[in-house]
Amino acid sequence: MADTQTLVRQKTASKAEQAGLATRRAPLAGKQGGSATVILVPAEAASRISLRARAEDVGALSKGLGLALPVKPKTSATAGERTALWLGPDEWLVIDQSGADLVAVAASSGALHSATDVSHRNTAVIVSGPGAAAAINSGCPQDLALAVFPVGACSRTIFGKAEIVLWRMAEDKFRVECWRSFSEYVFGLLSEGAEDAAL
Amino acid sequence: MLLIYCPYCEEERSELEFRGAGDAHIVRPTNIADITDEEFEAFFFLRDNPKGLIFERWRHIHGCGRFFNAARDTVSDRFYKTYKAGEPKPELSAILPADSDKGASK
- For CA atoms A64, A70, A71, A74, give the dihedral sign: negative
When pLDDT is cut at 50, 70 and 90, the band that residue A16 belongs to is low
Query: Do B56 and B21 touch, CB atoms closer than 8 A?
Result: yes
Burial B5-32 (b: 16+ CB within 10 A, else e): ebbbbebebbebbbeeeeebeeeeeeee
pLDDT value at residue B99 = 58
CB contact (8 A) between residue A141 and residue B9: no
pLDDT value at residue A80 = 95
Nearest Cβ partner of A91 from B1, B17, B65? B65
Is CATH 1.20.1250.20 the classification given to domain B3-95?
A: no
When pLDDT is cut at 50, 70 and 90, the band that residue A1 belongs to is very low
DSSP H stretches of helix in A66-182 = 102-107, 132-137
Per-residue pLDDT of chain B (106 residues; tens, 9 = 90+): 899 999 999 999 999 999 999 999 999 999 999 999 999 999 999 999 999 999 999 999 999 999 999 999 999 999 999 999 999 999 888 777 765 554 444 3
Chain A residue whose CA is closest to B3: A141
Nearest Cβ partner of B62 from A74, A89, A158? A158
Chain A residue whose CA is closest to B1: A141
Q: Is the entire prediction scored with pTM above 0.95?
A: no
Tell me the per-residue pLDDT of A132-158, one tens digit each, with 9 for 90 and over: 999 999 999 999 999 999 999 999 999
pLDDT value at residue B106 = 39
CB contact (8 A) between residue B13 and residue A156: no
Tell me the per-residue pLDDT of A61-109, one tens digit each, with 9 for 90 and over: 999 999 999 999 999 999 999 999 999 999 999 999 999 999 999 999 9
Its ipTM equals 0.85
Phi, psi of A87 (to 5 degrees): -110, -35
pLDDT value at residue A15 = 66
Burial A119-133 (b: 16+ CB within 10 A, else e): beebbbbbbbbebbb
Size of interface A-B (CB pairs under 8 A): 41
Enumerate domains of chain A plus CATH numbers. 28-44+121-199 (3.30.1360.120), 46-118 (3.30.70.1520)
Interface residues of chain B, partner chain A, Cβ below 8 Å: 1, 8-11, 13-14, 16-17, 62-66
DSSP letter for each residue of B47-83: ----SSEEEEEEE-TTTT--EEEEEEETTT--EEEEE
CB contact (8 A) between residue B64 and residue A158: no
pLDDT value at residue A49 = 97
> For A25, which DSSP code?
-
CA distance A89 to chain B (A): 7
Question: What are the CA-CA distances from residue A138 to residues A37, A53, B68, B91 (Å)?
Answer: 14, 34, 28, 40
Put simply, whether A30 touches B (Cβ < 8 Å) is: no
